[in-house]
Structure 1
Amino acid sequence: MMSSLALRITPRFGKPAAIGLANSSATNSFYTYSNQISQPLERKPNYTTAEEAVKVVKSGDVVFAQGAAATPIHLLDALTKHGKENNLRDITVVHMHTEGPASYCAPECKDIFRSKSLFMGGNVRAAVADGRGDAVPIFLHEIPLLFRRKLIQPDVAFVSVSPPDSHGYATLGTSVDCVRAALENSKVIVAQVNKQMPRTFGDSIIHESHFDAAVNIDIPLPEHGGKGISEVENKIGKLIAENLVEDGATLQMGIGNIPDAVLNALHNHKDLGIHSEMFAGGIVDLVKKGCVTNDKKVYHRGRIVGSFLIGTKKLYDFVDNNPFIEMLEINYVNNVGIIARNPKMTAINSAIEVDLTGQVCADSIGTRMYSGFGGQVDFIRGAAEGFDGKGKPIIALPSVTNKGQSKIVPTLKTGAGVVTSRAHVHYVVTEHGIANLFGKSLRQRAHELIQIAHPDHREALEKAAFERLKAMPTPN
């Protein structure tokens, strides 16, 4: 049942300014940033409650939700309640990694909502595993194309933004990624205006006149990180920092203890740069110490480049209103040609398991989907193709799982997906050392990987390598 608010909303595509927006969106690329949502319109958003704002959603709609630290949890919880109370059906919620409970994915909502993950978070894994949700295998840099080519056409978009300034400009805060592409192609935009959302620069700005409805809130952002780093993770971090990261290198890394361990070991480095889809809180201390200057970068010299964030309040406070950081669209940040132009591009990514030929599984555990392709291949390839010939593509992982099972395996688990192919992989790092696979034969690769496997598993891996290759692994 439509509310009075929903009846009052005039979708942006119904106004002349919005028609131009829709017609021009297909031309956007990483060469020409679109500024449509930055253009003021002669209209005002309806400031209301979350319960009223979400009533614009009806059965059969496609709803886009912003992700990571900018997940509009307040709106999504209200949407779930709206769907249940009004007997809605067949609503698709499209998103990248989101935070919060994802209440719309609960088993009792299976006929109301269906999650479509462009990169999975832990809150939707059960729904995908049970067939109540979908996972889309896709490179991170290509996600905006889904909206610009009209393969996904949101009826309603939910975003979490910083408060508008004196000119009416809010920002997308900690998550730009594919959000601009989604908003440019959404009929209705509902904004969660959070006083605690950092104000960010780059492709992040959006004028409040594009909000069809807005809800004022004041709640902390979801946080990750800040936990203790294990001895194994510290060893991996030091190996990478001391052997693979050069002064003047440009870094890409995500969040988690291994990236944090690498950052902790870089305090004697000079003139580091950051060009990364996301980055961790450890960068804050490196910036304050003068280790991260971005001085050697060719593009965006003197600036940290990112696309989305999730971390601790320390990180959010650092990026708030900080022109040292540019939050840009993911089709630009993760474009291989752009990545390759960074000096000494050093890409550090993780894996679930690596087989003896170098195949990397990073998105599933056997047939069970765990995350997504993300930007791993984008950056592994970008580093490998570095224009200066000094890029370093790195896969880093502990040698064993928490249960003591080897992460260096004879073959990937049945049904496991290959995210990064054996031809893409150069360096693999565990706490036991660094394997350089580039240009190596299958026998040589097996030898290199066995040397960095846990000692308890090396004999079994050597036997498995002989059975698979019909020859002993060898360094030559």
Structure 2
Amino acid sequence: MNDYVTPYEAKKTTPEKIAQHVESGWVCGSDIGLSAPPGIIAALDEHVGEKDLADVYYHTLLDWLPMGAYSEEYPGITGVSWFSGGFARKAVNQGIADVMPSYFRDMPSLIGEQNQIDAIFLAVAPMDEFGNFSTGPSAALSEALLKKAKRIYLEVNNHIPRSVTGPVVHLSDVEALCENHVKLPDYPRPELDMVSKQIASYIAEEIPDESVIQFGIGAIPDAVGLALREKRDLGIHTEMLTESMVELIDAGAVTNEKKTLHRGQTVASFAFGSKRVYDFIHENEALTMLPIQYINDPSIIRQIPSFMSINSAIEIDFFGQVCAESMGTMHFSGTGGQVDFVRGAVLSPGGKSFLAFPSTAKDGTVSRIKAILSPGAIVTTSKNDVNYIVTEYGIANLRGKTLGQRTKALIDLAHPKFREELIFEAKKRNIIL
């Protein structure tokens, strides 16, 4: 058997010394969420500031920790967000960071088209006996990044779960590595309010036994997970593995035994949120972690009968145009996988796509159902792709409905205090009589 301990020790250094490799003009990045290594990133910020580096770019997806790339205190490094968390969102709106418009499924190919990626920094599980490091809960873009990057730097963390499948990095391909055994974030789950529970109840009624599901995190997905516990033989094919999904598996509602693809397997591309999820991933042979270009490919999703996709939105207009990534001109997130799953679910035999959200925002002062989208709002899901819309006031399938029929259905889903105004706007535009 090969001895990997000696070369491991030879490449082991500190986060500070890894950061010192970075030079002005470098383009760097990490995979989604927990892939971003906190020790190296903190050291990189200090290095950029101390050496007065310029034009360093760091690409992220679902940023979860503070970093100089999204802070005005470090002008030498600029963040590029492919899907924003809170730090990137704030920085983009301040004008000190940039965004990359993209469908989630297209991100690996766009990485391959980048002119340069000088270095990637990945948080990984400890090395196995064959010299491999598992990227654990982050399988979305790692494969594409590993192929493109000129240099690979690792931060080994024994709290990172080792996935049985998913990308691996071999020691021989690593420029340098460090160890930083810090606990992963364990985010508190939102309290389920009556609005979320009501929305979830409408969705659950539309999901039959043996369906295959996809959803994310938040109050509404958590409520949907709770509402699905009495279902039987559900399957999971999702970009994001969540705690509510693990709960459905533990409750016996998810068995994956009726799936036509990856029978018996929970299939995901990344995980984020709780220790329970990370523990579920570790060496679990019933979990398949795959790159996002496969997970989110509508041509793959459409092959899965009764595929049920549940996502959120910020607002919708009478035509059924859905904005899920901006508040007017204010940046909020990104397209992510919403359109991937909307299209795939609609094409699936018996499949359905649900876009669910409370009827109002800003403490009930603003209707999310509008005659026209807010000025500058980004259209995420087009009027031609939209399927089921759900608020606490009901559920409506917009596919196959005319503009007038859609408008009437959406007004019925709006908060009662806004319906008269919406009817007035519809009549003024001669949409309804």
Match of 1:277 in 2: 239
Matched, 1:77 2:38: no
Q: How many residues align?
A: 427
Matched, 1:155 2:118: yes
Q: Give the whole-Å Cα distance in 2 for the aligned partners of 1:402 and 1:168.
A: 52
Matched, 1:48 2:23: no
Match of 2:415 in 1: 454
Q: Give the whole-Å Cα distance in 2 for the aligned partners of 1:160 and 1:469.
A: 56
Aligned-pair CA distance for 1:252 = 0.8
* Aligned match for 2:372, one of 388, 411, 419: 411
TM-score (norm 1): 0.87
Aligned-pair CA distance for 1:78 = 0.8
Moved more, 125-134 or 180-189: 125-134
Residue pair 2:142, 2:167 contacting (<8 A) in 1 also = no
Q: Give the whole-Å Cα distance in 1 for the aligned partners of 2:189 and 2:70.
A: 28
Q: Which runs of 4+ in 1 moved over 6 A?
A: none
Matched, 1:252 2:217: no
Match of 1:124 in 2: 88
Q: Give the whole-Å Cα distance in 1 for the aligned partners of 2:189 and 2:94.
A: 32
Match of 1:4 in 2: none
Aligned-pair CA distance for 1:304 = 0.7
Aligned-pair CA distance for 1:255 = 1.1
Aligned-pair CA distance for 1:334 = 0.5
Residue pair 1:189, 1:212 contacting (<8 A) in 2 also = yes
For 1:181, give the aligned amino acid: A
Moved more, 133-142 or 278-287: 278-287
SS in 2 for 1:107: coil
Match of 1:366 in 2: 328
* Distance 1:397-1:470 versus aligned 2 partners, 3 A rule: closer
For 1:194, give the aligned amino acid: N
For 1:176, give the aligned amino acid: A
Residue pair 2:237, 2:266 contacting (<8 A) in 1 also = yes
Match of 2:151 in 1: 188
- Where structure 1 has 5 or more consecutive residues not aligned to the other structure, the ranges are 1-39
Q: Give the whole-Å Cα distance in 1 for the aligned partners of 2:29 and 2:272.
A: 19
1:7-26 aligned within 5 A: none
- Where structure 2 has 5 or more consecutive residues not aligned to the other structure, the ranges are none
Deviations 1:365-410 (A, max 9, x none): 1111110010000000000111x2x010110001111421111111
Aligned-pair CA distance for 1:67 = 2.6
Query: Identity, % of aligned pairs?
Result: 39
Match of 1:92 in 2: 57
SS in 2 for 1:57: coil
SS in 2 for 1:77: helix
SS in 1 for 2:213: strand
Match of 2:264 in 1: 302
Matched, 1:214 2:177: yes
Deviations 1:191-228 (A, max 9, x none): 11111001113223222222211111111112334231
* Aligned match for 1:141, one of 83, 86, 105: 105
Q: Give the whole-Å Cα distance in 1 for the aligned partners of 2:300 and 2:248.
A: 24
Deviations 1:5-44 (A, max 9, x none): xxxxxxxxxxxxxxxxxxxxxxxxxxxxxxxxxxx9x965
* Aligned match for 2:357, one of 390, 397, 419: 397
Q: Give the whole-Å Cα distance in 1 for the aligned partners of 2:346 and 2:109.
A: 24
Residue pair 2:68, 2:77 contacting (<8 A) in 1 also = no
Residue pair 1:49, 1:215 contacting (<8 A) in 2 also = yes
Q: Give the whole-Å Cα distance in 1 for the aligned partners of 2:127 and 2:288.
A: 18
SS in 2 for 1:246: coil
Match of 1:6 in 2: none
* Distance 1:469-1:96 versus aligned 2 partners, 3 A rule: farther
Q: Give the whole-Å Cα distance in 2 for the aligned partners of 1:215 and 1:43.
A: 13
Q: Give the whole-Å Cα distance in 1 for the aligned partners of 2:430 and 2:311.
A: 28
* Aligned match for 1:341, one of 303, 307, 315: 303
* Aligned match for 2:227, one of 249, 252, 265: 265
Residue pair 2:163, 2:281 contacting (<8 A) in 1 also = yes
Q: Give the whole-Å Cα distance in 2 for the aligned partners of 1:422 and 1:67.
A: 29
Aligned-pair CA distance for 1:302 = 0.5
SS in 2 for 1:63: strand
Deviations 1:326-379 (A, max 9, x none): 110000000111011112000001001111221100011111111001000000
Aligned-pair CA distance for 1:152 = 4.6
* Distance 1:245-1:114 versus aligned 2 partners, 3 A rule: same
Residue pair 1:252, 1:348 contacting (<8 A) in 2 also = yes
For 1:444, give the aligned amino acid: Q
Q: Give the whole-Å Cα distance in 2 for the aligned partners of 1:224 and 1:244.
A: 30
Q: Give the whole-Å Cα distance in 2 for the aligned partners of 1:66 and 1:203.
A: 13
Residue pair 1:277, 1:333 contacting (<8 A) in 2 also = yes
Q: Give the whole-Å Cα distance in 2 for the aligned partners of 1:278 and 1:244.
A: 22
Aligned-pair CA distance for 1:470 = 4.4
Match of 1:169 in 2: 132
Q: Give the whole-Å Cα distance in 2 for the aligned partners of 1:216 and 1:203.
A: 21
Q: Give the whole-Å Cα distance in 1 for the aligned partners of 2:241 and 2:207.
A: 16
